[in-house]
Amino acid sequence: MKEPVETIVHQVFPVAVIQEQIDIHQSFKKEYFEDLKTEWFNGYENESPENSGKSFIHLNEKYVDFFKSLKKSVNNYLTLLGVDTSKVNLHVTKSWVGYHNKDIPPLKIHNHNASDISFCYYLQCDETSDKFCVHPYKNYNEVSGGLFEVSDQNPILNSTNYYNCDSYGITPVEGSVLIFPSSLAHSTIKQANVSDRYVIAGDIKLTLKPEYYNHMQSIPHPSQWLDLEEYKTSK
């Protein structure tokens, strides 16, 4: 008689969010922190950095060393996903300064639908700063509608765990950067904010390098695009 098979849990389709240190953080913060404060898009008055016009930190040559360090981290993220980074180019399309204190409300659940990879670099924060929170689009383990809803009265869950959670909080660490899929819904969880939190956040578009035009993965390099605005249409 065969021995019974022990229970095996197959953890499939995990989402990867990496957090690692920016290697130039100390020198970068010392030299540019005061300058970057003035780049805040003022979330009290503007719904988004696009509305304020302050979403192009990456075009300022002063900050080039940060983006060089960011590239290392993004390549580490792609390597984790098994991608050959020698065949792709990374294009920062937007970047902005985010600021939160105890009086600024947390960010609502949202995603960045015009890019591939997003990042959040903690320029200044501490353990009291708002947490970064990710949310699954759908938890397929919730086999019955509302099964995983949390309730203080009449709870059905004995505990929350890896399989039934509907969010995951990440503690900010100054000098670190979070890198994650732009399509991943995320928000912030309000904390005490004893120390004001400053971040550089942004979006990246991934394309093939021009010489890999015969690959079907991703999209061709912008140098191989045609801008139809060059052709004037008759009325």
SS3 67: helix
Domain spans in the chain, listed from the N-terminal domain onward: 18-131+169-230
Give tens-digit pLDDT for 65-111: 999 999 999 999 999 999 999 999 999 999 999 999 988 889 999 99
Quick one: tokens of 137? 């689009």
Please, how many CA atoms are within 13 Å of residue 72, restricted to the half-sphere of its CB? 11
Give tens-digit pLDDT for 38-55: 999 998 899 899 999 999
20 - beta bridge partners? 177
pLDDT of 170: 95
| pLDDT higher than 90, residue 179 | yes
> Confidence band (pLDDT; 50, 70, 90) for 60?
very high
d(CA 122, CA 101): 14
For residues 8-31, give the mean pLDDT. 95
For residue 201, the surrounding DSSP H or E stretch is strand 197-208
For residues 139-164, give the mean pLDDT. 91
Q: Across the beta sheet with 168-170, what order do the strands follow?
A: 168-170, 131-135, 185-189
pLDDT of 63: 98
pLDDT of 235: 65
Superfamily for domain range 18-131+169-230? q2cbj1_9rhob like domain (2.60.120.620)
pTM: 0.92
Quick one: tokens of 74? 């993004």
What percent of the chain shows pLDDT beyond 90? 79
> Confidence band (pLDDT; 50, 70, 90) for 223?
very high
> Confidence band (pLDDT; 50, 70, 90) for 192?
confident
d(CA 208, CA 36): 32
61-97 as b/e, with b when 16 or more CB fall inside 10 Å? Answer: eebebbbebbeebbeebbeeeeeebeebbbebbbbbb
| pLDDT higher than 80, residue 189 | yes
The alpha carbon of residue 151 and the mean position of all alpha carbons in its chain are separated, in whole angstroms, by 30
Give tens-digit pLDDT for 103-113: 888 999 999 99
